[in-house]
Amino acid sequence: MMMRRAVLGAAGAAALLLASAAPATADSVVRWLTAQPCATAQLTVSSTPDTDTTVSGWIDPCQRPARAERFGFVYYVQDPEGGGPRGYVYLERLRHYGTAEATAFEGTVDRDVASRFGSVLALCLATGPGRLVTCVPGMYPDADAPPPPRPTLQELAALPVIEIPPSPADPNCATCV
């Protein structure tokens, strides 16, 4: 009888552990993981002086992604305090790959990135940190300073990327990339 209770207790504890280990959803991503070795993409930027800047296009990974894999956009900025360039990615803005060959996307460029982190050197579509697919040159430059040198794709890929965790106060823009 004692052995039976121990087995039932262990089975109940295992069931509780499995129930609490639910897979991450887009809202609960805490780290950007990827196994994608490569991808092809098209990225188009459009804006007018009176509207927000938008990006649209598609991404097609070389191999079918796992359910947990996401793609997203990295804002590479020049630290205004002289700390050097670095990338920022908002984890809650990462996107699922579609089930079709290529996944279409569209979104708004976050104007607040420059005021929060420094002049934007480039906005890059990426399959993970250091795994850049394509980039567009910086936006929202500081009018009082000369433009910084534009890094190459390889130089950007080697820079550190800071993952900004989900926050109730962020994103400040529901359509931002």
* DSSP state string for 1-53: -HHHHHHHHHHHHHHHHHHH-PPP-GGG--S-------EEEEEEEE--TTS--
* Cα end-to-end distance, the chain, whole Å: 59
Burial annotation 52-61 (CB, 10 A radius, 16+ → b, else e)? ebebebbbbb
Task: Grade residue 8 by pLDDT with cuts at 50, 70 and 90.
Answer: very low
What is the pLDDT at residue 83? 78
What is the pLDDT at residue 26? 45
What is the pLDDT at residue 112? 83
Task: Grade residue 150 by pLDDT with cuts at 50, 70 and 90.
Answer: confident
What is the pLDDT at residue 94? 93
Residue 74 has pLDDT above 90, yes or no: yes
Note the pTM of the prediction, 2 decimals. Answer: 0.77
Residue 25 has pLDDT above 50, yes or no: no
Cβ atoms of 105 and 89 closer than 8 Å: no
Distance CA 36, CA 125 (A): 13
| Most confident segment among 76-80, 126-130, 164-168 | 126-130
* Count of other CB atoms within 10 angstroms of residue 162: 14
Distance CA 174, CA 3 (A): 55
Distance CA 23, CA 27 (A): 11
Average pLDDT, the chain: 77
Helix (H) or strand (E) holding 113: helix 112-117
What is the pLDDT at residue 7? 34
